[in-house]
Amino acid sequence: MTTLNRPGAPDGHACGIDTAMEVIGGKWKVLLLWALHEHPCRRFGELRRLLPGITEKVLASHLREMEADGVVRRVSYDEVPPRVEYSLTEDGTRLNDALRPLAAWGRARPAVRRSG
Amino acid sequence: MTTLNRPGAPDGHACGIDTAMEVIGGKWKVLLLWALHEHPCRRFGELRRLLPGITEKVLASHLREMEADGVVRRVSYDEVPPRVEYSLTEDGTRLNDALRPLAAWGRARPAVRRSG
DNA sequence: GTGGGTGGTTACCCTGAGGTGAGCGAGCAC
DNA sequence: GTGCTCGCTCACCTCAGGGTAACCACCCAC
């Protein structure tokens, strides 16, 4: 999205929305957020199995971006075979909470056609 | 996003999130939502001017999709020159409200680097 | 006749997110 | 020595969303 030049928006929320949208903008990021909320401290392979359909490449890049965004914490143990554990940061948990109303809206909405 | 096959998520919110993400997934949709919230009943040209940078094509297609999604109402007056007015539906207003926590999260978050 | 404004539509191109498949380095089981 | 696991990385390709620009039908002002 790059910088959104929200038009009028005096104290508007659009300015915050774009930040959030950048963070959750990836195809699997909300799922990842949710998975890490449900299962704290998950390993790469476990996450892959939790999100059937995601590829290693995308999982790795999403995790990396979310780590850079400060919503995911990555802990690497120097063992062999390698072990890496991912968990939500406090900010990530707050983000997850902030998504609740949106999820509720999605669930509560009237029957939508448009799916075809 | 198509159908998200949320992994474990028993009563999880991911199932609602994907619905919401489909609706607000367009590049300008949250801005449009916000613009229509701030200025109810706007015409096509006014919206275009409110969102500097958006093209007619994208504005038209976004409005059409949001209308199909039931968040935007389109009223066409049979005049000349043609006049069409767009406004939020109740559901659109609720969606906007549901975005507030997300916007608050975006505004309140600690300094992010990664912006480049 | 020319230009401006109305609300769009159409055809085309381009970028980037995401998918595909292969490989790597280390140790352990066999 | 072969193959398995683990956590990635790399090169390549696809495809859809979005940008560009021209055009339509209508009327008015100049």
pLDDT digits (tens, 9 = 90+) for B91-102: 999 999 999 999
Contacts of B106 in chain A (CB under 8 A): 15-20, 23
What chain B residue is nearest to A27 in terms of C-alpha separation?
Answer: B1
Smallest Cα distance from A89 to chain B, Å: 12
Contacts of A105 in chain B (CB under 8 A): 16, 20, 94-95, 98
Instruction: Give CB contacts under 8 A, 24+ apart, made by B89-92.
Output: B91/A109, B91/A110, B92/B33, B92/B36, B92/B66
pTM, two decimals, is 0.86
Q: How confident is the model at residue A113 (pLDDT cuts 50, 70, 90)?
A: low
Choice among A89-103, B11-25, B77-91 with the minimum mean pLDDT: B11-25
Q: What is the reported pLDDT for B6?
A: 43
Choice among A17-31, A98-112, B35-49 with the minimum mean pLDDT: A98-112
CATH of the domain spanning B25-100: 1.10.10.10
Determine the length of chain A.
116
Cβ of A57 less than 7 A from strand D: yes
Over residues B75-102, mean pLDDT: 94
At residue A110, φ and ψ (nearest 5 deg) are -65, 165
CA separation for the pair A99, A65 (Å, rounded): 18
Best residue of A48, A99, A102, A109 to probe chain B, by most B CBs closer than 10 Å: A102
Over residues B103-107, mean pLDDT: 95
Choice among A55-59, B4-8, B84-88 with the minimum mean pLDDT: B4-8
Report the CATH fold assignment for A23-99: Arc Repressor Mutant, subunit A (1.10.10)
Strand (E) or helix (H) holding A29: helix A29-38
CB contact (8 A) between residue B8 and residue A100: no
Q: What is the reported pLDDT for B114?
A: 52
Where do the H-state alpha helices sit in chain B?
14-23, 29-38, 44-50, 56-68, 90-108
